[in-house]
Amino acid sequence: MSELQAVVAVIRRGEKILIIKRGPESRRQGYWGPLSGTVEPGETQAEALVREIREEVGLEARAGRKVWESVTDDGRYVLHWWTAESETGEPEPDLHEVSEARWVTLAEYFELEPIFSGDNEFFERVLPSL
């Protein structure tokens, strides 16, 4: 199993979830998915989640709870999927890391291309149960 740890932010407002398109300085540029980032040394997953949300889309958020775990398709990272609350404001992407941010329904998410096939289980099985 990978030693590298990352968090994935599941931010919902009503029936929509915040999805980003990865920017020019991100791994896998151009892919759509929830925002994510590496857990820094000495940082908890919850702290990393709040920091990444602020850095990537400028929203103030509160960590909720861990709801799923997966591994990236290249096996480099263990992904810790967390819910987060951000009730006000609209995302203002850091254009180095995030090309675009939008609130989408589950159906709209599956229309985006390209997406990570490894995320499909979360969107099909886990998200509807939250």
- Convert the pLDDT of each residue in 74-90 to its tens digit: 999 999 999 999 988 99
Please spell the DSSP secondary structure of 35-103, one letter per residue: -EEEPPTT--HHHHHHHHHHHHH----EEEEEEEEEE-TTS-EEEEEEEEE--SS-----TTTEEEEEE
* Residue boundaries of the structural domains of the chain: 4-129
Residue 60 has a pLDDT of 96
CATH number of 4-129: 3.90.79.10
- Model pTM score: 0.95
Return phi, psi of residue 85, to 5°: -105, 130
Q: Which residue positions in the chain have pLDDT lower than 70?
A: 1-2
Residue 109 has a CB neighbour count (10 Å cut-off) of 20
